[in-house]
């Protein structure tokens, strides 16, 4: 996040800060370091050759005036680093926990139950005043909902601050009475896939269209209504089957890092959110149907009128879908996927499978999830000379693994390219499947535990 104050100080500083802020929101801008340094040194040398006396004078003036211009240049960046340092200290003090959700053997709950859980967990306290945000460094809680295939066995995990465990357990038990929630060891720290003998592929996923366009949700599949198991088509079943098909030495991790949406994706002006973007998207759709008519009035002057005919059925459906999607509670959602295995056990096409793992939720008329350009394994894979010796890929693998373990997406040490999703979309890509999903490698508990009846004879 950034605080206000853009544009103050030296001429052009506001433009530089705006560019840096945009790069920050987009997960970073890849600018080669060496060419910039070489160009900067070459420019200084050339100017010194052309006008040596003027060069010396310029440097003397800069040094002499440093007490005037340096505080102006450094003030904003100092404040930003101060806020970041306070936030890092606050986050470090928070105890976190990883929970595993043991799935019940028989449940007929639809994804609407998980949507209700996400609605209840839509909590964003802790940063309501400037003092809490800037001085105390507080940040609203974020959670990581995860699906991991470890040797072909599929597991559901949830990572959160320990203080939110009780509310989460209450909400999940209320909607899924047969589940069991237990504390788990962090599976991502049991191996180090970023080093030999492992090979590793990692992506972060973003929507291909503006966020207000919805994914293909469980409502589109008819899962908002309870139906016979043989009549249900759960798009998550296909994803779970892929995870369950892995060999004993392969692993595939999916991570959905979420926090409630407040508008940081749209810059420092947090009064703007995805509902404002939805209005712009709808206005742009209406512009596509705009018709301009030319005519000559009674005085002989040519005039142009603009009319907007009634929208087509397809246009109406798209607008209704956008309005319905943005009418629900929203989360910022960072999606990360990692596939890893020893080189002698890795399946060659799993990189391509991971790229398209969210295909069942994609819609040609609405939105899709695809790997973000220039992120991790999607960065140095176009030409062999981009990373001839593999050093950049090795560094990227080490970094993304560390960010996965930290569940980092919205704050230092990493700000990723995230999406804005409604609770309906989120419940579609992460929910406890009903018993109609019979993936053999998806373990379910044999029975539920409960207290003994109070009327037993003693």
9-42: pLDDT as tens digits? 455 666 666 665 555 444 454 555 577 788 888 8
- 324, 302, 332: which is closest to 409 by C-alpha? 332
Judged against a pLDDT cut of 90, whether residue 351 lies above it is answered with no
DSSP state of 398: H
Both structure tokens of 383:
């030409």
| Contact status, residue 334 vs residue 416, Cβ threshold 8 Å | yes
- Check residue 252 and give its pLDDT: 95
| Contact status, residue 143 vs residue 99, Cβ threshold 8 Å | no
Share above pLDDT 70 across residues of the chain, in percent, rounded to a whole number: 84
- Check residue 12 and give its pLDDT: 61
Both structure tokens of 283:
């206005």
Mean pLDDT of the chain: 83
- Check residue 8 and give its pLDDT: 46
pTM value?
Answer: 0.79
C-alpha to C-alpha distance for 104 and 433, rounded to whole angstroms: 10
What dihedral do alpha carbons 183, 186, 190, 192 form, nearest 10°? 170
- 296, 124, 103, 289: which is closest to 181 by C-alpha? 103
- Check residue 225 and give its pLDDT: 78
């Amino acid at each position: 996040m950034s605080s206000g104050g853009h544009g103050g100080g030296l001429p052009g500083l506001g433009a530089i800060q705006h560019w840096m802020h945009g790069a920050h929101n987009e997960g970073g801008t890849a600018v080669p370091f060496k060419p910039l340094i070489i160009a900067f040194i070459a420019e200084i040398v050339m100017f010194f050759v052309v006008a040596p006396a003027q060069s010396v004078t310029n440097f003397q003036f800069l040094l002499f005036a440093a007490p005037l211009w340096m505080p102006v240049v450094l003030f904003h960046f100092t404040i930003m680093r101060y806020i970041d340092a306070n936030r890092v200290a606050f986050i470090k003090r928070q105890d976190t926990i990883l929970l595993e959700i043991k799935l019940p053997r028989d449940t007929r709950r639809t994804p609407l139950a998980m949507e209700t859980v996400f609605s209840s967990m839509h909590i964003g306290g802790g940063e309501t005043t400037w003092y809490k945000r800037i001085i105390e460094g507080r940040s609203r809680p974020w959670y990581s909902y995860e699906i991991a295939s470890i040797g072909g066995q599929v597991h559901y995990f949830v990572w959160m601050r320990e203080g939110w465990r009780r509310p989460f357990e209450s909400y999940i038990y209320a909607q899924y009475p047969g589940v069991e929630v237990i504390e788990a060891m962090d599976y991502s720290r049991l191996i180090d896939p970023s080093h030999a003998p492992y090979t590793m592929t990692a992506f972060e996923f973003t929507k291909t269209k503006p966020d207000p366009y919805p994914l293909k949700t469980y409502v589109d599949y008819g899962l908002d209504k309870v139906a016979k198991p043989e009549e249900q088509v759960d798009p998550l079943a296909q994803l779970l089957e892929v995870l369950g098909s892995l060999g004993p030495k392969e692993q595939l991790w999916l991570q959905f890092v979420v926090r409630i949406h407040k508008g940081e994706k749209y810059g420092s002006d947090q009064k703007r959110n995805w509902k404002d973007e939805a209005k712009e998207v709808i206005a742009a759709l209406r512009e596509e149907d705009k018709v301009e008519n030319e005519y000559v009035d009674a005085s002989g002057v040519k005039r142009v009128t603009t009319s907007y005919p009634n929208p087509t059925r397809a246009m109406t459906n798209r607008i209704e879908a956008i309005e319905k999607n943005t009418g629900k509670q929203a989360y910022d959602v960072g999606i990360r996927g990692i596939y890893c295995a020893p080189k002698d056990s890795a399946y060659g096409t799993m990189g391509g499978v991971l790229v398209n793992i969210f295909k069942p939720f994609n819609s040609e008329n609405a939105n899709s999830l695809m790997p973000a350009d220039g992120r991790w394994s999607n960065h140095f894979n176009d030409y062999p000379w981009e990373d001839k010796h593999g050093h950049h890929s090795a560094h990227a693998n080490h970094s993304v693994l560390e960010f996965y373990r930290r569940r980092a997406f919205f704050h230092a040490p990493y700000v990723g390219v995230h999406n804005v999703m409604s609770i309906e979309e989120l419940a579609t890509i992460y929910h406890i499947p009903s018993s109609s999903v019979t993936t053999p490698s998806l373990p379910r508990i044999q029975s539920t535990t409960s207290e003994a009846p109070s009327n037993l004879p003693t």
